[in-house]
Structure 1
């Protein structure tokens, strides 16, 4: 049974990288900058059109958990750090339990000092 009486909002972001090494490097840098609370990595096969050609590639998908407050800084960091010319940038609000949303908020809170 889902507890709908106690929930908060966070933001999920989806992007891909060319391989595991790049995906792990990107995830670690975003975590080090405290822009994200968690990054889940998954191997995928993508089919897409690029510059007029049909393409297929093995990639690593990153599902990123962050707060609304960090979204713009995260977007800038992805543009700066990503290996792709046009990185995937898809985001949406998600409802989470209060304890999980509080953990996300604390994880991305800037450290004083």
Structure 2
């Protein structure tokens, strides 16, 4: 098994999720982005209890590309304070190889 990275965030609309996903793949920052939802989020914002419908984006990338992907997402995310979660995962050798081939040549392992 090999290590890869999953980066997860949420956005308000399926259109925003699709745009984020497409840009991450087009810019070779993620090999694959899965969109799930709608999901319900409950949180406190500026002292108020909020309940909203959101869409979750889960991006697959490499350890080498992780920082660039997080920087880009932080800059381009539609939320003022986006939730960006990063988790290392184990992956099969063939999937890891495919994933790395999808990324920009200068950030491949």
1:49 to 15, 36, 44: 44
CA distance in 2, matches of 1:71, 1:52: 32
Deviation per CA, 1:33-71, whole angstroms, max 9, x where unpaired?
100010000111111111111111000000110001111
1:9 to 3, 7, 15: 3
CA distance in 2, matches of 1:8, 1:79: 26
- Which of structures 1 and 2 has the bigger CA Rg? 1
Deviation per CA, 1:5-58, whole angstroms, max 9, x where unpaired?
xx1110011100110001100110111110001000011111111111111100
Number of equivalences: 105
Residue matched to 1:4: none
**Cα RMSD over matched residues?**
1.1
Unaligned runs of 5+ in 2: none
Where 1:47 maps in the other structure, the secondary structure is strand
Unaligned runs of 5+ in 1: 1-6
